[in-house]
Amino acid sequence: MRECKQSLLFVMLVMVGLGWLDAARNEAWAQRRALRDSSQVRARKVVETRPRRSTATRRPALPAKPAAMPKDFEPVTDRWQSIKPPPYELNVKGRWYDPYNQNKLKGDRPLFGQNTFLIFTASADNFIEAARLPTPSGVSTANAQSQNFFGAGDRTLASETLRLTFDLYHGDTAFRPRDWELRVTPAFNFNYLDLRESNVARISPRNRTDRSDRQLALQELSLEKHLLNLSDRYDFISFKAGIQRGNFHSNHYQYNLAYFYQLEKDTNSELNTVFDDRNQQVYLVNLYRQDFLTLGYTAQWSLHYNVDRASIYVDTNGFPTRPALIGTATPHTVRAFYLGWTGDGHLGRWNINHAFYQVVGSDSRNQLAGRRVRINAQMAALELSIDQDWKRYKASVFYSSGDAKPFDGVGRGFDAIVDQPFFAGGPFSFWNLQGIRLLGVNLVNRQSLLPNLRSSKTQGQPNFVNPGLLLFNLAWEAEWTPKLRSVLNANYLRFATTAPLQQFLNQSTIRNDIGLDFGLGFIYRPFLNNNAIITISATALRPFGGFIDIYQSPQMLYSVFASLVFTY
């Protein structure tokens, strides 16, 4: 009997303890609910009453369902049309021509349905330039008593390009990749060139020394489909019109697998010619790693394979382009593998930008060597800069290997597939900006650093028997205001070797130094955005020994241009 009483007392103590724990739990729950309710009352001015739960329970129980109260969430069938923005001054009524406020054409509201959007972008790029360049006089001079091989080099160029981009996509507007995306970009270009010599604007000397041209092209036509997610952080894989890209490890790694079947480019505008293939294929694999070895530094490793097959092509101005008019003009096939390592970021206060490429492969019959060559060439670039308040000081070096033995069966002169570097001054460098002509080919192509003796950067084939380049650069950039930035740039240039030039020009001696290249540019954004960008620049090249040996003139070369880009 005594044991039964002790057991009953133990059970009662346990029940009291459980009741006390349950009461304490419910009290804490009530306090949390009260705090939340009081914040809702202050924010929404809604008074909410909740019933107290009974503590006389024998065991812990789930909280009772609260009484009916105003709903925090309501289903909305169409959140874009049913919910109107409040009528206060921050929400200005949108118009189709206004890109800064609510606009269906800028993807702020669905074009149709609830998840299909359109982003329309229009860009007008206006460019005008006056320059003095070495200009071959051709078979007939435009001016009487003009007996020099290189004639009057003054020229004027004007170009305007209008691009319209239609980006139609389906999916959420943020937080995760789009389900699918269709992108179309037609472009129209008009250009005008005025020279002072014949046989340059057009191949026939009967034509005038000026030329106007227009081109309608399709620059982009792609469809991207989201394939799958790799994690709950939306690391993903997608497929885009022959391009497969993605990322993993919370976007620290990004990669691309790409295949390009090149279209022929228009000679004067460099826009695509619609459905006119180039007989060239490019394969690409690259991998990006953010915060590689240290925070703030991004590294990229890439592998390119370029197959440029033998073909015969004459450009729209009548000049033979493939094969180039250099050495033995025989159609040939170039197969080249490019292995590259590039990086961009900062190490402490120092900003760093670098690149290294090794290219190997073969050329079935290099025109300057007159035989099949094995390719083994390199390119290296390094830029260091440091910021001091509103100023940035830069120093950089660029090297592309040259071929000191043109006839040994190895092409050691580096050449690219297609390049457009913003390095060592970019458009604020005379050598980088201008294409300098030399006997049917270019010593250097427009918007390129490589002296590759190539007929055209976009229409010609790579040439791996070339002199190469060594460049040293100093630059100073200043942010005068949030709207105005200036760039002061100076380059010293010299050939890595002059053996290919001596062979090509049949000259016994050509010195290595090219000259001193300097430029000044201003970039102005009047509206503090990229809807209007005005760029003005003046550049010049002071020729040194090697350049004078080639062109037989110490005359200063110059270029002055203005660019106005307007974007909707």
**Of 316, 322, 244, nearest to 279 (Cα)?**
322
Mean pLDDT of all residues in 408-420: 93
Type of residue numbered 554? P
Query: For residue range 330-389, what is the model confidence (pLDDT) as tens digits?
Result: 999 999 999 999 999 998 899 999 999 999 999 999 999 999 999 999 999 999 999 999
Q: Alpha-carbon distance 203 to 550, whole Å?
A: 23
pLDDT at 193 over 50: yes
pLDDT at 300 over 90: yes
Type of residue numbered 187? A
pLDDT at 20 over 60: no
Mean pLDDT of all residues in 309-333: 89
pLDDT at 261 over 80: yes
When mean pLDDT is compared across 305-309, 449-453, 552-556, the lowest value belongs to 552-556
pLDDT at 525 over 90: yes
Q: Which helix (H) or strand (E) holds 361?
A: strand 350-366
pLDDT at 148 over 80: no
| pLDDT: which is higher, 75 or 427 | 427
Q: Which residues pair with 30 in a beta bridge?
A: none
Q: Alpha-carbon distance 387 to 390, whole Å?
A: 7
Query: For residue range 95-131, what is the model confidence (pLDDT) as tens digits?
Result: 888 888 888 888 888 888 888 999 999 999 999 999 9
Q: Alpha-carbon distance 95 to 100, whole Å?
A: 9
Instruction: Rounding to the nearest 10 degrees, give the CA dihedral for residues 129, 134, 137, 143.
Output: 60
Query: For residue range 485-512, what is the model confidence (pLDDT) as tens digits?
Result: 999 999 999 999 999 999 999 898 999 9
Q: Alpha-carbon distance 35 to 65, whole Å?
A: 18
Average pLDDT, the chain: 82
Q: Alpha-carbon distance 265 to 271, whole Å?
A: 5
Q: Classify each residue of 308-340 as buried b or exposed e, where b means 16 or more C-beta atoms within 10 Å of its C-beta.
A: bbebebebbbebebbbbebbeeeebebebebeb
pLDDT at 42 over 60: no
Q: Alpha-carbon distance 207 to 225, whole Å?
A: 50
Give the count of beta carbons closer than 10 Å to the beta carbon of residue 99.
18
Query: For residue range 267-291, what is the model confidence (pLDDT) as tens digits?
Result: 888 888 877 888 899 999 999 998 8
pLDDT at 6: 43
pLDDT at 268: 86
Question: How do 513-524 and 436-438 pair as beta strands?
Answer: unpaired
pLDDT at 204 over 70: no
Q: Give the 3-state DSSP-derived string for 111-166, with helices as H, strands as E and coil as C.
A: CECCCEEEEEEEEEEEEEEEEECCEECCCCCCCCCCCCCEECCEEEEEEEEEEEEE
| pLDDT: which is higher, 177 or 22 | 177
Mean pLDDT of all residues in 19-32: 50
* Coil, strand or helix at 17: helix
Mean pLDDT of all residues in 472-478: 97
Question: The tokens 């022959």 sit on which residue?
Answer: 242
pLDDT at 199: 65
Mean pLDDT of all residues in 204-209: 68
pLDDT at 147: 56
| Concatenated DSSP letters of 432-455 | HHPPEEETTEEEE-TT------BS
Q: Alpha-carbon distance 6 to 491, whole Å?
A: 99
| pLDDT: which is higher, 380 or 237 | 380
HSE, side-chain direction, 13 A CA sphere, residue 169: 23
Residue 349 is encoded by which pair of tokens?
């206060």
Q: Tally the residues of the chain.
A: 568
pLDDT at 308 over 90: yes
pLDDT bracket for residue 145 (50, 70, 90): low
Question: How do 410-411 and 371-388 pair as beta strands?
Answer: parallel
